[in-house]
Amino acid sequence: MFDTKKLLKERLTAEHHDRLIALENPKMHDFVADAIQLCNPASVFVCTDAPDDIAYFRRLAVEAAEERTLNMEGHTCHFDGYYDQARDKAKTKYLLPPTSELGESLNSIEKTAGVDEVRSFLKDSMLGRQMLVCFWCLGPADSDFTIPCIQITDSPYVAHAESILYRPGYEQFRKIGSSPNFFRFIHSEGELENAVSKNIDKRRVYIDLEENLVYSVNTQYGGNTIGLKKLALRLAIQKGSAEGWLAEHMFVMGLHGPAGRGTYFAGAFPSACGKTSTSMLPGQTIVGDDIAYLRKKAAQVRCVNVEKGIFGIIRDVNAEDDPIIYQALTNPCEVIFSNILVDSNNKPHWLGMGSELPTEGTNYSGQWQKGKTDAKGNEITPSHKNARYCLNIPDLDNCDPLLDDPEGVLLGGIVYGGRDSDTWVPVEQAFDWTEGIIITGAALESETTAATLGKEGVRTFNLMSNLDFLSIPLGRYIQNNLDFADGVDNPPFIFSVNYFLKGKDGNYLNGMADKKVWMLWAELRANGDVDAIKTPTGLIPKYEDLAKLFKDHLNAEYSQPDYVEQFTIRIPENLAKLDRVEKIYKDKVPDTPQILYDTFSDVCKRLKAAQDKHGDYVSPFDLIAK
């Protein structure tokens, strides 16, 4: 044991000691003192909200060779180690005491053993380096949504990235006084070789749900180290479950209907299913692209973006498909690129950027030339498939004016999307909140792509696109979502979208731009502007309403044959989907609420009744009330 006050006095300079002690929070002081005792840094820097402190991170990242300056003002590039390019799912575990149980689908380790292991890796991990003590906010400051956070790290890249992604939190800690209600994160990149983490075999990301504490060591990749991102989402899901609100893997955007009306939507999509491109639809506004908190306030559902920046996949970002993001990435503003290709003129390049790539340069493998292979003989791509960009949302031309509103935005709709070649229609509204959560969110599947797993079309279950981050039993998570509408006067409408439906010839039935029409139809429905056709699974658009939207917003003709092919109800495929998902719940989720099985049964009965009347494939025109 140690004396916190004495240790802090001895190990911090007078300036940084005063900064820390000005925040009168004993629990936070103990956390910092323990981290110093454990990691044994050469010095400690305590960050305030002052711009000079944030600027210090930027300079330090370059001086420490964790970032390099590029040829555009404000742009830098960071490289992770060759084998440290993504979230480490296998080594990301919950620390659970013997009496706790999350279910077999959630990765965990016995708490005492896990703490002992990760702390042994953190022991003296900051020798000769500076410890950075950073304070940030999840959600807007001074809000019911606010969660104060402290991040301890020895990586200036991590601190710099968090300064872009999150709102300052030093003054927020001053306001909470001695409150113990904050999240804690401790990270060390460990021993370095060529400025990247060396001991990848000892990479660990351990999450202590009892203590709202995350340990991360021997890694630099943002998904493992930027504590306030998906690591904090896991803590927030448990906190929300205990307090009656929701933490979701969702974008938040403003859709703009007739006469400039704005309606806010949140949306959950698995990877490679159009989440970011939907949040960045032309003519609409973005609040956030990744994580949202939902609360009930005055019998309404209100929502915030947890972040103020984007840590996005850069692959295929180009001037034609993503003009607003592309503009930010190719003009002066603060951007951290990671794991892309840098040419001899310090210009960044990435896969799918819309121009020819150089045949040599520097990338995540070091000096690179076309045809270079790794130790296993695999060709090294010029830019990693998971290469990223990190930027401020206010630097985007479509930033929504309510990004930082402490009250959040009033949510009019929720949309769930997946990669589905043969079942879901392009857009459909659920009959009510319960069916929306169960048939749309809790039954969400997505098909893999050949680019990521080498085998295309494998259906992967992904509960509300949040399965990787759940920190509570799955059944409780579903019930929390069902119960969330209690006491809400007009719950948000729930929709499904599917941009990947294919025809009999195997070609996609939707163009990339069509998603704007599907989302704008959802906006019209959320405001009661258009009628819909009742199907066994929900409500779909009428042809004339879609034809008008295609003409008005895409200047395109939309034919009746296209409409029929896209919105035909595929009954065998829908029945098979429900059967697949129900089996997963019966086999894997022992605490599944009975209402899920009852709702599946009701929808199956409706599908079979339609099948008896109309056959396996039902044209939307056959369902219009005569």
Give the residue numbers marked as catalytic: 273
Tell me how far apart the alpha carbons of residues 191 and 80 are, in angstroms, rounded to a whole number: 14
State the Cα angle at 363 between 311 and 223, rounded to 5°: 30
Cβ-in-10-Å burial (0-12, 13-18, 19+) of 228 comes to buried
The three-class DSSP label of residue 261 is coil
Rg (CA), the chain: 25
Asked if 18 and 104 count as a contact pair (C-beta separation under 8 A), the reply is no
Backbone angles phi, psi at 314, to 5 degrees: -90, -15
Kindly state the tokens that stand for 354: 């819309």
State the Cα angle at 290 between 286 and 291, rounded to 5°: 105
State the Cα angle at 92 between 86 and 93, rounded to 5°: 170
The three-class DSSP label of residue 124 is coil
Residues 6 or more apart in contact with residue 264 via CB below 8 angstroms: 252, 253, 254, 255, 287, 303, 409, 410, 411, 412, 413
Asked if 471 and 232 count as a contact pair (C-beta separation under 8 A), the reply is no
Tell me how far apart the alpha carbons of residues 289 and 306 are, in angstroms, rounded to a whole number: 10
SS percent in the chain: helix, strand, coil, step 5: 35, 25, 40
The three-class DSSP label of residue 279 is helix
Kindly state the tokens that stand for 140: 């807007």
Tell me how far apart the alpha carbons of residues 469 and 383 are, in angstroms, rounded to a whole number: 27
Q: Where do we find the tokens 């001086």?
A: 63
The three-class DSSP label of residue 527 is coil
The amino acid sitting at 154 is D
Q: Where do we find the tokens 């708490």?
A: 111
Cα dihedral angle (119, 123, 129, 130), rounded to 10 degrees?
50
Comparing CA positions, the residue from 104, 132, 113 lying closest to residue 206 is: 113
CA atoms within 13 A on the CB side of 563: 20
Tell me how far apart the alpha carbons of residues 605 and 574 are, in angstroms, rounded to a whole number: 12
The amino acid sitting at 398 is N
Kindly state the tokens that stand for 370: 């076309």
Residues 6 or more apart in contact with residue 66 via CB below 8 angstroms: 78, 155, 156, 157, 195, 220
What is the DSSP secondary structure assignment for residue 233, as one 8-state letter?
A: H
Please state, as a whole number, how many other Cβ atoms lie within 10 Å of the Cβ of residue 314.
Answer: 27
Question: What is the crossing angle of helices 111-122 and 26-39, to 10°?
Answer: 60
